[in-house]
Amino acid sequence: MSNLEKYIEAFKTTFELGDESALPALKYQDIEAWDSVGHMALIAELEDAFDIMMDTDDIIDFSSFEIGKEIMAKYDVAL
């Protein structure tokens, strides 16, 4: 599985999404599942998938699917 596939899978698993077509435009709190608790679960899922520990500032800044990609790059995760 490529890094991008793992990244997408983390969103789909955390938010129980069947379809990934809406992901590129997805932002924090766009859907009910991506609330503060969902956000924490998403970060935990990503940290586990890529074996990283994100800094609090990055967790706060992780406000959309696309911005998340830029943040992952800081942890040497190329998507």
Measured from the CB of residue 59, what is the shortest distance to another protein in angstroms?
9
Distance in angstroms (rounded) separating the CA atoms of residues 49 and 31: 22
Dihedral sign for Cα 46, 9, 38, 79, please.
positive
Task: Select 23 or 33, whichever has its Cβ closest to another protein.
Answer: 33
Measured from the CB of residue 44, what is the shortest distance to another protein in angstroms?
4
- By residue count, the chain amounts to 79
Q: Residues 8 to 67: which contact another protein by CB under 8 A?
A: 36-37, 40-41, 43-45, 47-48, 51, 53, 56
- What three-state secondary structure class fits 66? helix
Distance in angstroms (rounded) separating the CA atoms of residues 41 and 10: 9
Measured from the CB of residue 69, what is the shortest distance to another protein in angstroms?
20
**Which residues lie near another protein (CB under 8 A)?**
36-37, 40-41, 43-45, 47-48, 51, 53, 56
